Amino acid sequence: NLPITLIGLGSGLSFEFDGPSHHGVGDIGIMRMLPEMTIYNPASPPAAEASVQMAYDSDSPVCIRLDKGQLAPLYISDTNFHEGLGLLREGDDLCIVSTGTMVHRALEVSETLAGHSINVAVVDLYRLKPVNEALLLKYLLPFTKVVSLEDNSIVGGLGSILSEILLDNQQAVKLKRIALRDEQCLRYGKKEWLHETYRIDVPSIVKQIQEWYSVE
């Protein structure tokens, strides 16, 4: 329980051609198992800056998960990042909860689905542990269908977090988990190609959500 900060640089498949030795696709589940650990997965520069400050102020271990690329700000400068999550887009039909760089993908998907008459809310869960359950449930409970979207293994990551919270709070919300399959990620190449291969690119996500959403 020492105040040590771990920086996980190159989350998901962002190391591209460096291949399976560098793919960061199982770290969320591993870090979540450590009882004292706080986990930040910022999706933007303001959130990353706030995560560093909160880690510095913490007297317990912290893990900050960072993508390699440059990302759009998403937030205004005076956002209160101590809340652990933020509602980036309002919607009526379903809600996508995402984290890290995939939040930008979630916003792209929501724009595409709006063209198909599916109004999608987007929540950015930038603190994966501990989760602000009260605020998260406030955003989720108006919906009967929720999607988790991540560039991490489907085992132990964001989808698992949402499953546990909804079950523990006895909420009958249908959850669609979109993540990397439970298998070794042995391929390497451009990030866009890897996302297409593992079906976490925009067209693949849109298709998965449309097919799932249309089923009552």
The answer to whether the CB of 99 falls within 8 A of the CB of 125 is: yes
Assign 3-class secondary structure to 109-130.
HHHHHHCCCCCEEEEECCEEEC
Q: What is the pTM of this model?
A: 0.95
Question: What gap in Å lies between CA 182 and CA 197, rounded to an integer?
Answer: 14
Q: What phi and psi, each to the nearest 5 degrees, are found at residue 30?
A: -65, -50
The answer to whether the CB of 173 falls within 8 A of the CB of 140 is: yes
Question: What gap in Å lies between CA 55 and CA 76, rounded to an integer?
Answer: 20
Burial class (CB in 10 A: 0-12, 13-18, 19+), 169: middle
The predicted-structure confidence for 193-209, as pLDDT tens digits, reads as follows 999 999 999 999 999 99
Band (13; pLDDT cuts 50, 70, 90): confident
20 C-beta neighbours (distance < 10 Å), count? 13
118: nearest Cα among 99, 151, 86, 96: 96
pLDDT at 186 over 90: no
Question: What gap in Å lies between CA 99 and CA 154, rounded to an integer?
Answer: 13
Q: Which residue type occupies 159?
A: G
The predicted-structure confidence for 113-148, as pLDDT tens digits, reads as follows 999 999 999 999 999 999 999 999 999 999 999 999
Residue carrying structure tokens 């964001």: 158
Band (108; pLDDT cuts 50, 70, 90): very high
Instruction: Check residues 64 and 77 and name the one with the higher pLDDT.
Output: 64
CA distances for 20 relative to 14, 25, 51, 198, angstroms:
11, 9, 27, 14
The pLDDT score that the predictor gives to residue 49 is 94
The answer to whether the CB of 150 falls within 8 A of the CB of 159 is: yes
The per-type count for the chain, helices as H runs and strands as E runs, is 7, 9
The pLDDT score that the predictor gives to residue 216 is 65
Question: What gap in Å lies between CA 208 and CA 189, rounded to an integer?
Answer: 24
DSSP-based three-state secondary structure for 100? coil
The pLDDT score that the predictor gives to residue 18 is 82
Q: Which residue type occupies 18?
A: D
